[in-house]
């Protein structure tokens, strides 16, 4: 269905007054791909999407659909479908009329409008609700109408800006599957903005992680999950344990780091020299609790807080030297318990520390403030 084989963003930048919201975004999107733009609030995700949509002019750079430059075109001439956080449905029009609206505006023949509308209704499973007004629908159903309206004219690209953020947790999961199903069955090309890393990992073929308007990493869900490019991306991808420490030895892609007096061995990402500051990143689920006599990266700790999370417990424990550890375990541990921890060196990533590694948040995570 896509009317192009590649969409290319070339140095796309946007400033507001003196402030850069997006700086030199380079990205090539292949037809049929599902791309997620991911990052914390204010990192420039919506700015990037709005530049693509044509709702915001670029301050530098260009956007190309194959050989055709499109950043100079107004939004309606780009022919992209858009779904936003707020559904923005016409309250006085029925579901059917809302979905057909775009086709009517494009003056498609009546019969084709009817056929395509019915097909879109079926795709988003709203057959039983076509004659209702938006006010008579649940949030999830309204968002389905918004999605149907965006895909009904078979756009070459669908842009979605946090489309699920107004829905409750259960509906969000259902709609996530729905969006992926639609993307596949219609052969859409989709760019999807979210701050939810789990949502991005489960939906996208490739993720673009932004921070302060700059790309930090572009990669597959697996790459982002197992090998974040820097500690900021690691932080964002669920590596809740971020410990600052001095580098001891470096041996190829292995290094020892000493946060709060613990000597830990891990995998180096980037380049490091002995004696410099590093940030160690470990996921809570990669901390082993009372495992078989593991001697590498072993620590003793006291459990401080335990949260019940179904099959697993999420807990915070503090080592004898004061390092705060976030962990997940199936063991039944309780506050006050003494536990033995171990971390597989392959699951312990060591990053060069940058100036922002001196922030209070990281110091706190390292337990250095207590």
* Contacting residues toward ligand ATP, per CB under 6 A: 16, 21, 39, 41-47, 195
For residues 30 and 196, which CB has a smaller minimum distance to ligand ATP in the complex? 196
For residues 52 and 152, which CB has a smaller minimum distance to ligand ATP in the complex? 52
For residues 50 and 260, which CB has a smaller minimum distance to ligand ATP in the complex? 50
In three state form, how does the secondary structure of 27-43 look?
EEEECCCEEEEECCCCC
For residues 41 and 271, which CB has a smaller minimum distance to ligand ATP in the complex? 41
For residues 51 and 324, which CB has a smaller minimum distance to ligand ATP in the complex? 51
| CA angle, residues 359, 241, 265, in degrees to nearest 5 | 105
Closest approach, Cβ 266 to ligand ATP, in A, equals 30
Closest approach, Cβ 323 to ligand ATP, in A, equals 32
For residues 39 and 245, which CB has a smaller minimum distance to ligand ATP in the complex? 39
Residue 281, Ramachandran bin (φ over 0: left; ψ between -120 and 50: alpha; else beta)? beta
Closest approach, Cβ 180 to ligand ATP, in A, equals 21
Closest approach, Cβ 15 to ligand ATP, in A, equals 9
Give the integer Cα–Cα distance in Å for 138 and 88: 14
Closest approach, Cβ 9 to ligand ATP, in A, equals 14
| CA angle, residues 317, 323, 324, in degrees to nearest 5 | 40
Distances (CA, A) of 321 to 98, 137, 260, 299, 314: 62, 56, 6, 10, 21
Closest approach, Cβ 224 to ligand ATP, in A, equals 17
Give the integer Cα–Cα distance in Å for 103 and 108: 6
3-class DSSP assignment, residue 142: helix
Sheet architecture: strand order including 206-211:
81-83, 158-161, 190-194, 34-38, 206-211, 214-219
User: Do the bridges between strand 254-258 and strand 241-251 make them parallel or antiparallel, or are there none, so unpaired?
Assistant: antiparallel
């Amino acid at each position: 269905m896509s009317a192009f084989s590649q969409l290319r963003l070339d140095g796309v930048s946007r400033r507001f007054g003196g402030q850069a919201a997006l700086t030199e975004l380079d990205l090539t999107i292949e037809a049929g791909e599902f791309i997620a733009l991911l990052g914390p609030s204010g990192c420039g995700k919506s700015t990037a999407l709005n530049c693509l949509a044509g709702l915001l002019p670029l301050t530098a750079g260009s956007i190309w659909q194959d050989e055709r430059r499109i950043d100079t075109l107004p939004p309606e001439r780009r022919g992209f479908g858009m779904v936003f956080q707020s559904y923005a449905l016409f309250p006085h029009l029925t579901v059917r009329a809302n979905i057909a609206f775009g086709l009517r505006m494009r003056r498609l023949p009546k019969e084709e409008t009817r056929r395509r509308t019915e097909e879109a209704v079926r795709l988003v499973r709203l057959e039983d609700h076509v004659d209702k007004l938006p006010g008579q629908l649940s949030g999830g159903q309204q968002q389905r109408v918004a999605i149907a309206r965006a895909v009904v004219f078979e756009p070459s690209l669908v842009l979605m800006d946090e489309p699920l953020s107004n829905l409750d947790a259960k509906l969000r999961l259902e709609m996530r599957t729905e969006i992926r199903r639609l993307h596949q069955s219609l052969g859409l090309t989709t760019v999807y903005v979210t701050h939810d890393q789990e949502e991005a990992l489960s939906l996208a073929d490739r993720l673009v992680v932004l921070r302060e308007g700059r790309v930090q990493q572009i990669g597959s869900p697996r790459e982002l999950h197992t090998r974040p490019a820097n500690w900021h991306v690691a932080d964002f991808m669920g590596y809740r344990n971020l410990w600052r420490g001095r580098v001891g030895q470096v041996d190829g892609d292995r290094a020892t780091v000493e946060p709060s007096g613990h000597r830990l061995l891990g995998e180096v990402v980037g380049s490091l020299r002995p004696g410099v500051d590093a940030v160690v990143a470990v996921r809570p689920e990669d901390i082993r609790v009372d495992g078989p006599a593991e001697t590498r990266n072993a620590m003793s700790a006291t459990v401080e807080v335990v949260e019940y999370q179904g099959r697993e417990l999420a807990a915070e424990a503090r080592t004898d030297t004061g390092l705060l550890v976030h962990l997940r375990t199936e063991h039944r541990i309780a506050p006050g318990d003494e536990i033995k921890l171990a971390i597989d060196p392959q699951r312990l990533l060591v990053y060069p520390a940058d100036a922002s590694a001196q922030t209070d948040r990281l110091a706190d995570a390292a337990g250095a403030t207590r």
